[in-house]
Chain A
Amino acid sequence: DAKTTQPPSMDCAEGRAANLPCNHSTISGNEYVYWYRQIHSQGPQYIIHGLKNNETNEMASLIITEDRKSSTLILPHATLRDTAVYYCIVFSRNSGNTPLVFGKGTRLSVIA
């Protein structure tokens, strides 16, 4: 079972920031937070990951709360092409178990 909770859907106006929340209250100390997205039936696409510090790359920013029980993925200027299902995943990079467990994710609709 997924260890994360995400809202099933969100809307965002084009050009505005999209803030996608994720709760992972049972995260353990060696578990990372990963974000992937899947644009309509395409293969999932890696976005960003972090352990406890905030992270930023060319696609997005990841804000992780100090207690690490929740995080927010920020797409700073959403475009129509960002419409997708966004998956928040936690797992340990030290584990030999199942690498990724995808939950139901958040379906983000970017509206013109």
Chain B
Amino acid sequence: RKEVEQDPGPFNVPEGATVAFNCTYSNSASQSFFWYRQDCRKEPKLLMSVYSSGNEDGRFTAQLNRASQYISLLIRDSKLSDSATYLCVVNRAPPYGNNRLAFGKGNQVVVIP
């Protein structure tokens, strides 16, 4: 099983709609989870960290399910500017060091007018 798995999509979303996708991770000892956004051929940028209690930032909501080992991202009221690839990132548990991260391949979101 891969460390981090994501359905690459693309997810074609009408403007204004809601889209959600999950990411599964293999190591139950992982403690830190993130969503990064990557625009085409540009550098990834942190979108949000994912906390155990779930967290929300404007139209974006992230959830963590430790029992089933997945994290989710939900985007409400999609904007054209949300079109990007969303990378799921998980810290690798020991014996890896603290800042060793595993990246998913990303969920590609295309918001359609």
Q: Do A and B come from one complex?
A: no
Q: List chain B positions with a Cβ less than 8 A from chain A.
A: none
